[in-house]
Structure 1
């Protein structure tokens, strides 16, 4: 029996305008979603991160070690099964690909997006090897091999079948690593309009084994710019770019009333489909999106200093031994673990005070 559980075939849409599923595709069509899109326009966004979350939850220890070796260990924290599409629509409309900014209402600064935001949001490697996206993939040997393994023609390879075969490599070997990167690209970087696996990274994952040396952050930004340009020119086509990154980066950088998850690295940790939907509804109640306080980028050294206090080099929150909420009761603590818990509590208290001050400044426009 496959470790990759089947997901529900039908998913209730979040748009007040209703949704429909294209036959033979996993795309969702959003109609007339208020201020998210202009009247009469349609926005189609691939909704395949739910399956990717299932993949991450199905990895064994050796496979997780292989993912970490490639530089993607922070993705284990990723738990966003779907994104709120009205908010996503607004972000796409207000994204300026020339400045790489998200235009915010009011006279304040806009939200600038760059490689560091990808690194901080998802924890992607930001190595010294720059790679370019190309449409035509000449070397398709790995896709031919995958198609042969799953028993279909090469153009008809589905991500679910690929994932099932990948998980069979329980040792997390070379085959597992390359297939994982293909699935990662399909889920978080660039999806195909037809619903099948159409990787654009074959030209460099075949020749490179030190995957952590690739500048995946720069690659994602380049894909964002290219796919947004295509989406803007063809409003009825599928947006195939990294929309999950854009949404997760936005909700962390734009402080709106409260911070429902700890501010940590990677910033996507703690965010879920449900929390993102609540954020969307909270902004809709304000009358429009984009209202809030533009926060500075998170400093990774804050998490690093806390992690160094733990016995294993990782804080208990990061290692998965404790829930993501910071401990409240820090009495009767001793040793390194006690010091680490006190540090967590102090950092959490400072964050609460900082956020409270921002709420007051924002509320009273001081």
Structure 2
């Protein structure tokens, strides 16, 4: 018999033990009660389910409301697709050839952008200052105008006369057909093609670059898909420079700022996104702020000045309270870089030329000058006047109490000082007249030889300049009015000067050079195998960049090591005052050392492209008896990089920071791989490592500095050490760690077989420190980094241990006053030397 299962939760009041006692009435009552309990249960169950559903809905509604509030709060700052990082990633991925293509289209200025981060809160704050009616920034009752001219001065975009096409469908179809799409893909599609280095035609590559530039930098909005509004310019790429790019970028920015400052949208109740070129917006604002000694250089275009973390740094100087700026006063417009450029009339056509000045030039030159030459001369004069301009802030009423004669004299003096443009024009005319009046000597044999043997003379003009000269001569024929036209005189005198220089150089070379023997059959070699080293540099296919051996043995074998004769060392050292500092250098050095223990000790004394060094580090390292720390050596490496001949493309040398050497002294599994990868990749951007001559690794190990050098040109691993020798246990350990570790990371990151297993190990003769001197090794290695370039570098003839105190002074001054040091120099220049002791 199957028993029916009772519903859970229902209590049966009947007792099975009394079932035979109650009679029929009791059974009926029990039946009714059971039925009643079941109905009550079912009703309660339904009500429970309803309550549960209502509770769930209420919870969902509360979560949705809370999430909505968070979103609204987040969008209060104004969401934007402006991305300095995305744009910089694309620029970094471009090869020099692709950059040249972009420059040919007229947008090379965008390549000067250097990962300048724009703080979102700062951009929002500045945007709220923009007046929607006038389109100007208004702060404290003063106006900062946002104009097409300022866009050009900041971004250097083309200022064509054509408006952007209102119908962009034709340009959009061109882009879609080129990339085989039926609708516009996301910005990442175009960026990936450049970052992944896809093989694209020049025009397609340029389109990808411009779409990324527009979407992430010039005209961003809140969408991940590029806006079709600017696709019309891609219909005819060759005419892209003819459009008014400055006006379009400005209108785009003002339109999005207007929508942003309008507040919340009635439908969505959300704050509008902030679009447009925020970089331009904040740069114009910061250029009008008075930062006193920290004022940014007034070079044009501004995109070449405002780099890296500069906007963040200067925005912080203007902070009143968290999220609120405007702490510093505004500059008068006359004191800004924009004033000089706005007042400077651009010379772009014949109508802009000074007719009287052009007539004077043609009169003294004896010929009708090409229009292109006159325009270029006028442009250079204007640029010279701009850079030589001076701004005077003076209350003229202060002269009211002086005599009339003094006022007249002062006015004449100021008039003379400010006539830079007129005096510049007079100078050009005088120079041209002097050149045209220069009569060649009667003996023109050298000039004739030059005409017959031009291949042996160094070219005066580059290929591009020659092409420009030819074009100018073709379009504007020269009309001779004298015996020898100006252009012909210049060419003739230039050739003559070059010939005389080359002749003197050849005579000097023949008298001083080591004889070059040609190995003929008498020496056991065929005569046609003789090699003249100097003939290589005169070959038409010779390039300086490709002159490195790249790991191959040089034509004349590895360069021999120099071991100076002990008897002659003192003769080579010569003047004992070689490193003697000047009084001003001593005063600066004293100030730097004193600031290391002052309240300014934590301020940055050195700042080279992200490499920082405080006054404490610099002063404590460079003072007498101070041990040089890693920060100073890193800054010194960047100091060498910043010198005119320090770029690896010129010097063929790479300087690695000390932290890289620290990794070379570790095992593979202990090394920070991303640090090594970043160092090798960044160095390779300046010049491929395998095409370099020398790699330097300054190393600090067991409280002692030395330099590990990879001499690629001479196939050597070199160790420059002022204390330990190669047989010392110190270097037995160092060699065993650094050489294999360097080879491992080279093979992993550079992936170029340089046959390092065949390299020899050398310890050149270098100046030595006293065994009791345990703090000067850092100064020695700084000199090694600067002056050791090859096995033929004789450092013992350059300096000795007696020069170290003076070298400390010299190096501290050179680093601190390097033009690329972006930090304020006033703490040292204005230091009160009387309050501290004298220099010893």
TM-score range, shorter chain: 0.5 to 0.7
1:179 paired with 2:208, answer: yes
2:801 corresponds to which residue?
A: none
1:291 paired with 2:329, answer: yes
Q: 1:257 to 1:326 in 2, by over 3 A?
A: farther
Q: 1:142 to 1:50 in 2, by over 3 A?
A: farther
Q: 2:221 aligns with which of 173, 192, 197?
A: 192
Task: Give the superposition deviation at 1:93.
Answer: 0.5
Query: Which of structures 1 and 2 has the bigger CA Rg?
Result: 2
The structure with the largest helix share of the pair is: 2
Task: Give the superposition deviation at 1:187.
Answer: 1.8
- Equivalents in 2 of 1:172, 1:298: separation in Å? 42
Partner SS, residue 46 of structure 1: coil
Which gives a bigger RCO, structure 1 or 2 (Cα 8 Å, sep 6+)? 1
1:141 paired with 2:178, answer: no
- Equivalents in 1 of 2:201, 2:295: separation in Å? 35
Q: 1:299 to 1:210 in 2, by over 3 A?
A: farther
Deviation per CA, 1:217-272, whole angstroms, max 9, x where unpaired? Answer: 01111112221222233541211222121012222233333446432121122323
Partner SS, residue 238 of structure 2: coil
Residues 256 and 293, structure 1, Cα contact 8 Å, conserved in 2: no
Q: 1:260 to 1:76 in 2, by over 3 A?
A: farther
Task: Give the superposition deviation at 1:45.
Answer: 2.5
Partner SS, residue 103 of structure 1: strand
Q: 1:277 aligns with which of 289, 303, 312?
A: 312
Q: 1:55 to 1:303 in 2, by over 3 A?
A: farther
Q: 1:70 to 1:196 in 2, by over 3 A?
A: same
Partner SS, residue 236 of structure 2: coil
Structure 2: runs of 5 or more not aligned: 1-70, 265-270, 342-379, 388-460, 465-607, 610-637, 645-816, 826-840
2:92 corresponds to which residue?
A: 57
Partner SS, residue 110 of structure 1: strand
Partner SS, residue 239 of structure 1: coil
1:250 corresponds to which residue?
A: 285
1:340 corresponds to which residue?
A: none
Residues 82 and 277, structure 2, Cα contact 8 Å, conserved in 1: no
Q: 1:302 to 1:77 in 2, by over 3 A?
A: farther
Partner SS, residue 292 of structure 2: coil
Q: 1:178 to 1:118 in 2, by over 3 A?
A: same
Structure 1: runs of 5 or more not aligned: 1-28, 33-39, 314-322, 331-344, 354-366
- Equivalents in 1 of 2:276, 2:234: separation in Å? 20
1:222 paired with 2:242, answer: no
Alignment of 1:325-344 (within 5 A): none
Residues 133 and 223, structure 1, Cα contact 8 Å, conserved in 2: no
1:24 corresponds to which residue?
A: none
- Equivalents in 1 of 2:108, 2:177: separation in Å? 26
- Equivalents in 1 of 2:192, 2:381: separation in Å? 38
Deviation per CA, 1:2-27, whole angstroms, max 9, x where unpaired? Answer: xxxxxxxxxxxxxxxxxxxxxxxxxx
- Equivalents in 2 of 1:283, 1:131: separation in Å? 37
Q: 2:155 aligns with which of 122, 130, 144?
A: 122
Task: Give the superposition deviation at 1:130.
Answer: 2.2
Task: Give the superposition deviation at 1:124.
Answer: 0.7
1:164 paired with 2:192, answer: yes
1:44 corresponds to which residue?
A: 79
RMSD: 3.9
- Equivalents in 1 of 2:294, 2:157: separation in Å? 23
Alignment of 1:99-114 (within 5 A): 99-105=134-140, 107=141, 109-114=142-147
1:203 paired with 2:232, answer: yes
1:154 corresponds to which residue?
A: 183
1:131 paired with 2:164, answer: yes
Task: Give the superposition deviation at 1:62.
Answer: 1.9
- Equivalents in 2 of 1:64, 1:304: separation in Å? 26
Q: 1:298 to 1:227 in 2, by over 3 A?
A: same
Residues 160 and 241, structure 2, Cα contact 8 Å, conserved in 1: yes
- Equivalents in 2 of 1:284, 1:234: separation in Å? 24
Residues 116 and 307, structure 2, Cα contact 8 Å, conserved in 1: yes
TM-score by length of 2: 0.30
Partner SS, residue 205 of structure 2: helix
Q: 1:187 to 1:326 in 2, by over 3 A?
A: farther
Number of equivalenced pairs: 280
Partner SS, residue 292 of structure 1: coil
1:96 corresponds to which residue?
A: 131
Task: Give the superposition deviation at 1:103.
Answer: 0.5
Q: 1:298 to 1:205 in 2, by over 3 A?
A: farther
1:233 paired with 2:262, answer: yes
- Equivalents in 1 of 2:290, 2:199: separation in Å? 41
- Equivalents in 2 of 1:241, 1:154: separation in Å? 23
Residues 169 and 175, structure 1, Cα contact 8 Å, conserved in 2: no
Deviation per CA, 1:284-323, whole angstroms, max 9, x where unpaired? Answer: 14874163314430646799448xxxx989xxxxxxxxx9
- After the TM superposition, which of the residue ranges 253-262 and 179-188 deviates more from structure 2? 253-262
